């Protein structure tokens, strides 16, 4: 049970931390609002989004294992291609809201953006692989909250720190490399069924 939790946590955290726009969105919100309302809205949005991803993964789990391994390999490869082609431009929040609405703004900014992103694809894949929806959901939500907390507590400083020390291209290439390794392992799994 702990292995599934930590495997899911690690996979989603790494997938999400590399090149994810929500990290920047949360940093922008943290620069404008108090941390607690941002954390509340962010946690609620992550719980809902990852719940959907895990439920989809459970439906995928009922498919033949060879088909799931093929879909997994294609998913990782497609996300790797997307990250490879992704630009490094920073997306600014356009709407100005009052501080007392920070939780609602945080929820909406996170919940309604980037459906089907690398974190959700990873959550769905892990759910299909492990057949443990609750544990996978807990692992994915925990990873997302840790990622969001880093952004909320450190704000735009984390972005500056990374960009001063590591080229955005290097960060993106590392993410692409990790996804290609995961995709390759899925292909090996497919070949093992043959």
Give residue 67's pLDDT: 76
139-27-25 Cα angle (round to 5): 80
Instruction: Supply the pTM of this predicted model.
Output: 0.64
Residues contacting 64, CB < 8 A, separation 6+: none
Give residue 141's pLDDT: 96
Closest CA to 54 of 113, 142, 176: 142
Closest CA to 52 of 5, 120, 132: 120
Give residue 90's pLDDT: 34
CB atoms within 10 A of CB 88: 11
Closest CA to 153 of 4, 38, 6: 38
pLDDT in tens, the chain (194 residues): 899 999 999 888 887 776 566 766 776 677 667 778 888 999 999 999 999 989 887 676 566 777 767 776 776 677 677 667 655 443 333 334 455 577 888 888 888 876 777 788 889 888 888 889 999 999 999 999 998 888 777 765 655 666 678 776 776 677 677 778 877 877 787 777 65
């Amino acid at each position: 049970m702990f292995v599934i939790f930590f495997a899911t946590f690690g996979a989603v955290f790494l997938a999400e931390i590399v090149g994810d726009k929500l990290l920047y969105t949360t940093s922008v919100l943290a620069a404008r609002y108090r941390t607690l309302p941002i954390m509340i809205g962010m946690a609620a949005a992550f719980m809902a989004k990852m719940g959907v991803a895990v439920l989809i993964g459970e439906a995928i789990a009922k498919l033949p294992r060879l088909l799931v391994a093929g879909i997994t390999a294609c998913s990782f490869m497609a996300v790797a291609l997307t990250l490879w082609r992704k630009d490094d431009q920073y997306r600014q929040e356009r709407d100005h809201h009052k501080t007392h609405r920070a939780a609602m703004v945080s929820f909406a900014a996170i919940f309604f953006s980037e459906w089907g992103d690398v974190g959700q694809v990873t959550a769905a894949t892990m759910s299909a692989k492990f057949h443990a929806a609750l544990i996978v959901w807990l692992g994915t939500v925990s990873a997302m909250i840790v990622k969001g907390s880093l952004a909320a507590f450190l704000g735009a400083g984390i972005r500056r720190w990374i960009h001063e020390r590591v080229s955005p291209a290097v960060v993106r290439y590392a993410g692409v490399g990790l996804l290609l390794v995961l995709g390759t392992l899925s292909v090996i799994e497919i070949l093992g069924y043959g």
